[in-house]
Amino acid sequence: MKSVLLIGLGRFGRHIALKLNEMNHQVMAVDINEDRVNAVLPYTTNAQIGDATREDFLESLGVNNFDVCIVAIGDDFQSSLETTSLLKELGAKYVVSRAARDVHAKFLLRNGADEIVYPEKQLAAWTAIRYTADHILDYIELDNEHAIFEITTPENWVGKTVGEVDVRNKHGINIMAIKHNGEMQLNISSQTCFVKGDSIMVLGNTKDMQRCFHI
């Protein structure tokens, strides 16, 4: 369990609060808007109405006591930048800030953010890849060159073993797991056989996987 300070309770921040609550983390939620604060009260440990660009208000929260501080402000970049900078100045251990544009990301990183989340850009990439290939079921980008894909088992793999396909030596792609009847099988060996209808979790260089699976 981690303690999280969540600042900004718009749609993005509210979804974060809901997920953190599902994961049983302790969440202190903050927003300048009373209605937004009241909306997340059932899903947080505590919630306060306040202006996160005010140093005295942030200091009163004891930001250095939280494991993670998330700045989810999306509609006011100046406030997001000021809040990010103040959090770091007040000793926040780890600051994650939301960016809406590339230039915003650069400024946030220079002014205290340890990491940037870019939901619109990240979701756009996922949508473009996920829905332009019939056999891709999910996609997670790890960095600019590597990703994890969940794909349907290629027809020419059905009935063959992992060793026979030998995709690691041929393409540098690692088979991480096979999902069979909705259950994930992680114990993969060279003798594991591919079955029609299963999906496969593969990890590797994005370009290698695009060539291998015709993405």
Answer whether 178's CB lies under 8 Å from 213's CB. no
Tell which residue, 28, 35, 36, has the closest CA to residue 10.
36
CA angle 195, 193, 168 (to 5 degrees): 110
Show me where the domains of the chain are located.
3-119, 126-213
> What's the fold here for domain 126-213?
Alpha-Beta Plaits (3.30.70)
Question: Are residues 30 and 6 in contact, defined by beta-carbon separation less than 8 angstroms?
Answer: yes
Q: In what order do the strands lie in the sheet with 174-180?
A: 136-141, 146-152, 199-205, 174-180, 183-185
Question: pLDDT class for 139, splitting at 50, 70, 90?
Answer: confident
* CB-CB contact of 204 with 173 (8 Å): yes
- Enter the pTM of the model: 0.71
Mean pLDDT, the chain, as a whole number?
A: 90
pLDDT tens for each residue of 141-159: 787 788 888 989 988 999 9
Flag whether pLDDT at 163 surpasses 80: yes
Could you say which of 3.40.50.720, 2.40.40.20, 2.60.40.10, 3.20.20.70 is the CATH number of the domain covering 3-119? 3.40.50.720
Tens of pLDDT along 17-57?
Answer: 999 999 999 999 999 999 999 999 999 999 999 999 999 99
Q: How far is CA 178 from CA 27, 58, 194, in A?
A: 35, 47, 8
CB 31 within 8 A of CB 8: yes
Instruction: Count Cα neighbours of 80 within 13 Å in the Cβ-side half-sphere.
Output: 28
